[in-house]
Each structure stands twice: as C-alpha cells, then as structure tokens.
Structure 1
C-alpha cells in the first residue's frame, strides 16, 4: 500500500468536507467489493496450486500411493488426502 497526498488527487471541496471529520491523520479508503480479486489471482499462485492439485489427483488415480505423493510433492498425508478427496 502506498500513500498519496489527498490534495494531489481529490477536489478541494471534497478535502474540506473530509477535514470536518479528520485532519492531519492517515486514513484508509477500501476498494469496492467489485474490484477485489481472490488470493493468488495476480501472482498466478492460485493457478499453480490448482494445476498441482489436479496432477496429484491424476497420479493417485493412476496408482500412486499417498506416501509416494507425499514424497514427490513435499506435502503431509493429510494435505494429500484433502486434495485427493476434494471435488
């Protein structure tokens, strides 16, 4: 998060209105709900994990054991089972 001076982006009338409520403080103005993105969307982490999970499911269906998958993907048995049994 970066800080921006209000007088460089907001109209003077709006700044005066805000000053009625707060002066000289830092405030956070949140995004609208419509502009939120899910975790990992921008970085590609979400896609990468989804592809990994699909690969784990396919390997299990092709006969790999939970133990084999644990060692190949460096995940716990519980995590492998959650991935395998999830929809």
Structure 2
C-alpha cells in the first residue's frame, strides 16, 4: 500500500479505539512484515541502472578517461568514482 489508508476504513473498531488511546490523532507508520519487505531498488530499475552506469564508468576509465572527467560527466564526486572503480570485483 503506497497511499495513506483511512484507519477507520481498514481497522476493526476495537483495534482503532485501542490505537487511539496511545496515539490519538498522530500519524503512525506501520512497517511491512519481514517476509514482505523488498531490498532497495527491487520495486523499480534503480539497481539495474546503477550497475549499468557503474559498468560504463569502469569501461570509460579502462579506455583512458580520467577520474575527474568521469566525475564531471556523471555528476559524481571523484571519491565516488574511485569507489566505483574499486568495487569492480565485488559486483
């Protein structure tokens, strides 16, 4: 569920009343069950896109591009580019 749900529409009355005794009128975040949680980037293509970007950075570096030029081209800090290059064997 990505949108807010009206508690009075999804919770039984006694449960709603019990919650109101503790957090009357406040916003309450209810986390997902552990078995329903997704890792970062699983719900979209973020992981895939970052892997592709990092592969392109490593390829360009291998072809002679400087760290500074790659950082400017990808709007990253040189330190981040160095981390991407160092992580080559971990991906």
Provide the residue aligned with 1:65 in structure 2. Answer: 66
TM-score, normalised with respect to structure 1: 0.66
Take 2:3 and 2:32, find their aligned partners in 1: how far apart are those partners? 14
Provide the residue aligned with 1:32 in structure 2. Answer: 33
Deviation digits for residues 27-48 of structure 1 (CA, Å, limit 9, x no counterpart): 3321112222233332422221
Which one has the largest radius of gyration?
1
Structure (1/2) with the larger helix percentage: 2
Take 2:67 and 2:56, find their aligned partners in 1: how far apart are those partners? 13
Which 5+ residue runs of structure 1 have no aligned equivalent?
A: none
Q: Does 1:8 align with 2:5?
A: no
Across the aligned residues of Structure 1 and Structure 2, the Cα RMSD in angstroms comes to: 2.8
Q: How many residues align?
A: 86
